[in-house]
Structure 1
Amino acid sequence: MIEELAVEHAAYVRVDLTDQVKTLHDTIEDMMMRLEEFESIFGMVQTEGAECLSGQIPRLQIAQQQLGGLCRRIDALEHVLARVNVNLDSLETAVEAAEADLGVPDSLLSKLIPLSFFKKNQEPSTRGGRTPIFEPPIIYKTEDFFTPE
């Protein structure tokens, strides 16, 4: 009876592991194949990214140099504009003083407005018959501010 019982219970313990191991082996094979595909795709993306980056870095460096030159030119232009503004203010002051000295009723700057050309021209009067001496303003050249490139 013990032998029969051992044989019956041995049937419960006997397991056919070959089917279960085969399924596990197929799953591992499939996972390995997918990992290899992912690794090759990742390698291609990494290679293309490196090629793209290596092609763009020199262009960015050139653009950086050009941008630096452009910034220097803008700074020089701002300096010129500041100088022109100061010169224009001094010129306006000189024109107003000359108009007051000559007794011109309208401002000379108002004659630069296009519609004022249709007005009747008035001859400036000179005091005491003498003509004032003209002193030219200091004129600056762009070469003083911009280097030839």
Structure 2
Amino acid sequence: EAVLSATAAAYSAYLLPDRTTYSAQIESFEESLEELLTRVDEFVGMLDMIRSDSSQVVNESLPQIYTKATEMRHIYRKIDKLEAFVKMVGNCVAEMEERVTKAETDFGTFPSTFKKILHTISLPAFLNKSTSSRQQQTHYEPPTLFKTEDYFPCVKEVPY
């Protein structure tokens, strides 16, 4: 047993540096280790914070984002329907403008007071021919119009 104790003491003297000789270096090394351990603790704390934030994002924010995306798809469908409605109204307005232009060319744009003045100036034959021939040529067909209620059903309002 004495040999074992002596061997252990020799090995410990060999492995452990002499504190008196290397004390400044050992203290510097221990301070570096302490600083490194402090930084490792900070890093682990930061990882825990990131982990909790990411779980919050997964558990809370992701469902909210999904709900908002579903709402946006519904809004996009409404916008598409509204664009189609605006296009249809534009086509109806263009058709009405064409009909008004055609009616103006068929019936003339002179107001009746100007026609009366021209009749008194002895040009009635010219005006009567053109109007009678125009009246025979044209036959009015009312255009098919859309109803706004078909596209925007309104809630029955309660009278006041």
Q: TM-score, normalised by structure 2?
A: 0.55
TM-superposed CA distance for 1:55, in Å, is 2.1
Rounded Cα–Cα distance in structure 1 between residues aligned with 2:102 and 2:18 = 113
Q: Report the Cα offset of residue 43 of structure 1.
A: 0.8
Matched, 1:41 2:46: yes
Counterpart of 2:17, as a letter, is L
Query: What CA distance in whole angstroms lies between the structure 1 residues aligned with 2:44 and 2:101?
Result: 81
Q: Which runs of 4+ in 1 moved over 6 A?
A: none
Higher RCO, 1 vs 2 (CA within 8 Å, ≥6 residues apart): 1
% same residue: 22
* Residue number in structure 2 paired with 1:89: 94
1:136 aligns with 2:125: no
Aligned counterparts of 1:40 and 1:93: Cα–Cα separation in 2 = 75
Gaps of 5+ in 2: 1-13, 116-127, 155-160
Q: For 1:33 and 1:18, how far apart are their aligned partners in 2?
A: 27
Using a 3 Å threshold, how does the CA distance of structure 1 residues 123 and 54 change in structure 2: closer, same or farther? farther
**Higher share of residues assigned helix:** 2
Aligned to 1:104: 109
Paired with 1:53 and 1:80, the residues of 2 have a C-alpha distance of 40
TM-score (norm 1): 0.59
Q: In angstroms, what is the RMSD of aligned CA positions? A: 3.6
What is the aligned length? 118
Match of 1:55 among 54, 60, 75: 60
